């Protein structure tokens, strides 16, 4: 079945900088924004962009992700020609290996891509929160007659040295690429989203695989090799909301951004919906004394206390007299009566005992010691326990160092 | 596959649903913040292990067809069996003009379908019933008891429009079938019946031959020759047949004990998702003693109300004791109490609308106030 364009989504990352949150699941499966998971963003972008065939490359702890994606039906990716396919590493007749790098992951699935004989392949990663029309990027790729198009966005000059930076000419064609340069020549940062002409990519992947010194990585090996060979490389400028949620702080920030559409992250905009597999539960009940302000809430929850500036996933319980502020509560979390949760990320099914205190405001901590408080999924905090700001607890309630 | 087949009746009947029933049958009225009434009957059946369900339709059923789709939401989109939608294809009277006069007539209208039923027993349910019955247990008891028909009855003080009532003896056998009562007595029938497929077909054929269309009249006639056994359900059970019932029953959901029973996790009520974002409460928003679905934006005050997906309550607006259907917009400083707003209603700034607990006002779908 020939397809004009298919997408390959790199979802194998461990997400080690999310520490306890990714102890049992791959980063793209981490809940975000109340009802979503991170992977909902690239999957919904695909379906909204008219891409109906997506390969999801999994490797690290894939169970949660696999069951979440299922048939792909929530994203309309369960068509009879195409749809979403989970692609784990596999054993061939000559043995098999783990995915050695991003480029190797695609290399090992050349057979899958060849099935669709596409003109273009979009390479996506599963750890970014953004809304983007990939068809617009593919159009730019076609018009520039490029072998590769990289989406870029302007970042503040002061931060440019943290990114992969592109230097471009007057036609926005890439002339130079530098990974985390000390003295950046531009402020156009790569967003880790690529469109390749499949013929060209196939050739470079094969060559890259044959090179024993290569790390088999797009940013480190494949893109530089293409540039050195004088391939036409186009930049595609993106200006909307985009955030890498690979760290606890950025994950928390992006959740807070969702509360204020002025941040650019407007999930209520129905012209570009983000789809999710939703749980089946009754609507949220807010009790007689509930005081919920500047917060997002989801179905199946019972809220009887105070919730402010927070993002609550489905099936959350906040008891009477409890207070949750500036926090992100993942599905099934229970905050018992009288407990206080501040500046925290609580993993799925955490239980916060009555009258305990988890986290604290930046002002409450000693100079230089403050941080978000993060609880692993299924962690229980005993009644009355104090959990200081910046502390991370594992699933058994023990302190874990970062 | 277990031995029970489901048939849900969703045809037009005399009712007092006013604007709510103008565009749809009672079974497809939104209820409880995210459900349609028929979701309850379907979930009851599916939770009892029923794999094949027929839905008998007649009159204003577009909304119902949209809602049912392939039956996927209830896992009833199957290769064998699953959901069968039964419009009046085989009805001898003027097609779609005459409503069915009773259940027997409705079943006679789909007589060929009855022959395709693979199971030995059938559960008949009305589409206007909101309940969460342990139907698997009721079915088991039916088979064990040797009854000809199990009649499920409610046990609360609620009367219902055009209800059927049953009296029973101490062994649970039905001794009297009553309807058109001025003052209700006995147990309120929930219009849920379990009987063997063969008996159902025999009754339908016998009655059709005599132009006898009413199921309950048939039960009344045969109360001595058939063993009619009662099953008394003492939990929440609402029949949605008038605006007043709709309103009173909706408001009962604000009681946690009733919610816990109706939405018990062992027997989940399944409903379509809405693909909306999370609900957002603004810095000045206040929402107490209310049920709120997803995708709402609340910047004003909401008390003792039920909000369906995508409802907007702007700053300064006050909503009390209301049921607001999907995408209702209440503009700045408007005030609503005892209002049922159908889908896509917009109430402009500074408007004040007040009904009363004994006469909730219904705003028709799409109206702009």
Domain match, B319 and B208 both: no
Domain match, B356 and B284 both: yes
Q: What is the pLDDT of residue B91?
A: 55
Domain termination site, one of B262, B295, B313: B262
* Among A278, A284, A294, beta carbon nearest to B279: A284
Domain match, B140 and B112 both: yes
pLDDT tens across the length of chain B (369 residues): 469 999 999 887 767 888 888 888 888 999 999 999 999 999 999 999 999 999 998 877 888 889 999 999 999 999 889 999 988 765 555 544 567 788 888 898 888 899 999 999 999 999 999 999 999 999 999 999 999 999 999 988 788 888 899 999 999 999 999 988 888 889 999 999 999 999 999 999 999 888 888 899 999 999 999 999 999 999 999 999 999 999 999 999 999 999 999 999 999 999 988 789 999 999 999 999 999 999 999 999 999 999 999 999 999 999 999 999 999 999 999 999 999 999 999 999 999 999 999 999 999 999 998
Residue A2 CA to residue A228 CA, distance in Å, equals: 31
Residue B109 lies inside a defined structural domain of this protein: yes
Q: What is the pLDDT of residue B204?
A: 93
Domain match, B64 and B159 both: yes
Kindly state the tokens that stand for B87. Answer: 């419009």
Domain match, B206 and B318 both: no
Q: Give per-10-residue mean pLDDT for chain A (402 aa).
A: 93 85 89 94 97 93 90 92 90 79 93 96 94 97 96 91 90 91 90 95 95 91 94 95 92 94 89 92 96 96 97 97 97 97 96 96 86 95 94 91 78
Domain match, B254 and B339 both: no
Query: CATH number for the domain including B313?
Result: 2.160.10.10
Residue ranges of chain A whose CB lies within 8 Å of a chain B CB: 33-35, 74, 258-259, 267-268, 273-275, 278, 280-299, 311-312
* Among A33, A283, A286, beta carbon nearest to B288: A286
B282: closest CA of chain A, how far (Å): 4
Residue B275 lies inside a defined structural domain of this protein: no
Q: What is the pLDDT of residue A60?
A: 82
**Between chains, do B288 and A297 touch, taking CB under 8 Å as contact?**
no
Which pTM does this prediction carry?
0.92
A392: closest CA of chain B, how far (Å): 27
Number of domains in chain B: 2
- Closest chain A residue to B303, measured at CA: A288
Q: What are phi and psi of A262, to 5 degrees?
A: -60, -20
Residue A342 CA to residue A160 CA, distance in Å, equals: 32
Contact list, B69 vs chain A (CB under 8 Å) = none
Residue B368 lies inside a defined structural domain of this protein: no
Tens digits of residue pLDDT in A26-60? 899 999 999 999 999 999 999 999 999 999 999 88
Q: What is the pLDDT of residue B136?
A: 95
**Domain containing B332: what range?**
280-363
**Between chains, do A33 and B34 touch, taking CB under 8 Å as contact?**
no
Q: What is the pLDDT of residue B89?
A: 65
Q: What is the CA radius of gyration of chain B?
A: 21
Query: CATH number for the domain including B150?
Result: 3.90.550.10
Domain match, B186 and B313 both: no
A301: closest CA of chain B, how far (Å): 10
**Between chains, do A286 and B276 touch, taking CB under 8 Å as contact?**
no
Kindly state the tokens that stand for B260. Answer: 């816990």
* Among B256, B282, B291, beta carbon nearest to A294: B282
| CA-to-CA dists, residue A392 to A245, A255, A377, angstroms | 18, 19, 11
Q: What is the pLDDT of residue A57?
A: 94
Domain match, B250 and B323 both: no
Residue B252 lies inside a defined structural domain of this protein: yes
The candidate with the shortest Cα–Cα distance to B137, out of B39, B4, B40, B257, is B4
Contact list, B254 vs chain A (CB under 8 Å) = 285
Residue B270 lies inside a defined structural domain of this protein: no
Contact list, B286 vs chain A (CB under 8 Å) = 291
Parallel, antiparallel, or unpaired for β B335-337 and B318-320?
Answer: parallel
Contact list, A312 vs chain B (CB under 8 Å) = 278
Domain match, B209 and B310 both: no
Tens digits of residue pLDDT in A340-354? 999 999 999 999 999
Residue ranges of chain B whose CB lies within 8 Å of a chain A CB: 32-34, 254, 256, 259, 263, 268-271, 273, 275-295, 297, 306-307
Domain termination site, one of B200, B229, B262: B262
B272: closest CA of chain A, how far (Å): 9
Domain match, B181 and B225 both: yes
Domain match, B120 and B36 both: yes
Q: C-alpha A360: how far from its chain's center?
A: 26
Residues 6+ apart with CB under 8 A from A352: A322, A333, A334, A335, A336, A339, A341, A346, A358, A381
Residue B272 lies inside a defined structural domain of this protein: no
* Among B259, B280, B297, beta carbon nearest to A282: B259
Domain match, B22 and B73 both: yes
Domain termination site, one of B229, B262, B295: B262
Residue B273 lies inside a defined structural domain of this protein: no
Contact list, A290 vs chain B (CB under 8 Å) = 287-288
Residue B111 lies inside a defined structural domain of this protein: yes
């Amino acid at each position: 079945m020939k397809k004009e364009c298919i997408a390959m989504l790199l979802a194998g990352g461990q997400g080690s900088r999310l520490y306890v949150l990714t102890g049992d699941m791959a980063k793209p499966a981490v809940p975000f924004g109340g009802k979503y998971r991170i992977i909902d963003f690239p999957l919904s972008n695909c379906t909204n962009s008219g891409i109906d065939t997506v390969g999801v490359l999994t490797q690290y702890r894939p169970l949660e992700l696999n069951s979440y994606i299922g048939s792909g039906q929530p994203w309309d990716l369960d068509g009879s020609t195409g749809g979403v396919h989970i692609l784990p590493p596999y054993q061939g007749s000559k043995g098999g290996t783990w995915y050695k790098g991003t480029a190797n992951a695609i290399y090992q699935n050349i057979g899958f891509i060849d099935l669709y004989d596409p003109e273009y392949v979009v390479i996506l990663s599963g750890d970014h929160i953004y809304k983007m029309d990939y068809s617009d990027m593919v159009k730019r790729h076609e018009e520039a007659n490029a072998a590769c198009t990289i989406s870029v966005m302007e970042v503040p000059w002061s931060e440019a040295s943290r990114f992969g930076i592109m230097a471009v000419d007057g036609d926005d064609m890439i002339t130079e690429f530098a990974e985390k340069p000390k003295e950046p020549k531009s402020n156009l940062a790569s967003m880790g989203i690529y469109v390749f002409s499949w013929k060209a990519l196939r050739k470079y992947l094969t060559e890259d695989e044959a090179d024993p010194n290569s790390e088999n990585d797009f940013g480190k090996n494949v893109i530089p090799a293409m540039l050195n060979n004088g391939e036409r490389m186009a930049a595609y400028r993106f200006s909307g909301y985009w955030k890498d949620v690979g760290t606890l702080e950025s994950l928390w920030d992006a959740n807070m951004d969702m509360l204020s559409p002025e941040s650019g992250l407007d999930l209520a905009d129905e012209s570009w919906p983000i789809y999710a597999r939703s749980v089946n539960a009754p609507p949220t009940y807010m009790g007689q004394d509930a005081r919920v302000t500047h917060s997002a809430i989801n179905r199946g929850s019972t809220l009887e206390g105070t919730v402010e500036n927070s993002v609550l996933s489905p099936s959350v319980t906040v008891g009477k007299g409890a207070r949750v502020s500036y926090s992100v509560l993942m599905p099934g979390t229970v905050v018992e009566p009288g407990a206080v949760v501040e500046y925290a990320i609580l993993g799925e099914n955490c239980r916060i005992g009555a009258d305990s205190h988890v986290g604290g405001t930046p002002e409450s901590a000693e100079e230089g010691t403050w941080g978000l408080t993060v609880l692993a999924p299924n962690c229980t905090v005993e009644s009355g326990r104090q959990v200081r700001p910046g502390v991370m607890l594992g699933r058994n309630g023990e302190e874990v160092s970062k | 596959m277990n031995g029970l087949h489901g048939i849900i009746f969703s045809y037009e009947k005399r009712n007092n649903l006013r604007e709510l029933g103008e565009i749809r049958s009672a079974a497809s009225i939104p209820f409880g913040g995210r459900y349609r009434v028929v979701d309850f009957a379907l979930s009851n059946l599916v939770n009892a292990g029923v794999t094949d369900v027929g839905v008998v339709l007649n009159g204003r059923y577009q909304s119902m067809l949209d809602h049912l789709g392939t039956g996927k939401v209830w896992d009833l989109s199957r290769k064998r069996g699953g959901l069968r939608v039964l419009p009046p294809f085989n009805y001898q009277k003027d097609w779609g003009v005459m409503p069915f006069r009773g259940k027997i007539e409705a079943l006679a209208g789909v007589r060929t379908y009855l022959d395709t039923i693979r199971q030995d027993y059938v559960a008949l349910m009305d589409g206007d019933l909101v309940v969460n019955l342990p139907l698997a247990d009721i079915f088991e008891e039916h088979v064990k008891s040797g009854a000809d028909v199990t009649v499920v009855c409610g046990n609360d003080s609620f009367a219902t429009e055009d209800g059927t009532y049953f009296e029973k003896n101490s062994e649970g056998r039905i001794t009297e079938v009553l309807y058109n009562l001025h003052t209700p007595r006995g147990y309120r029938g929930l219009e849920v019946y379990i009987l063997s497929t063969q008996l159902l077909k025999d009754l339908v054929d016998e009655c059709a031959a005599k132009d006898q269309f009413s199921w309950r009249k048939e039960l009344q006639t045969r109360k001595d020759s058939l063993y009619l056994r009662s099953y008394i359900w003492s939990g929440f059970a609402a029949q949605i047949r008038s605006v007043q019932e709709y309103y009173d029953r909706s408001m009962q959901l604000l009681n946690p004990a009733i919610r816990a029973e109706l939405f018990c996790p062992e027997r989940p009520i399944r409903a379509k998702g809405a693909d909306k974002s999370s609900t957002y409460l603004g810095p000045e928003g206040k929402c107490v003693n209310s049920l709120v679905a997803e995708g709402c934006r609340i910047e004003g005050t909401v008390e003792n109300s039920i909000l369906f997906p995508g409802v907007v309550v702007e700053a300064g607006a006050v909503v009390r004791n209301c049921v607001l259907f999907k995408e209702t917009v209440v503009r700045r400083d408007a005030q609503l109490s005892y209002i049922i707003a159908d889908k896509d209603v917009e109430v402009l700034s500074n408007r004040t609308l007040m009904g009363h607990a004994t006469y909730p006002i219904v705003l028709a779908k799409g109206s702009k106030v």
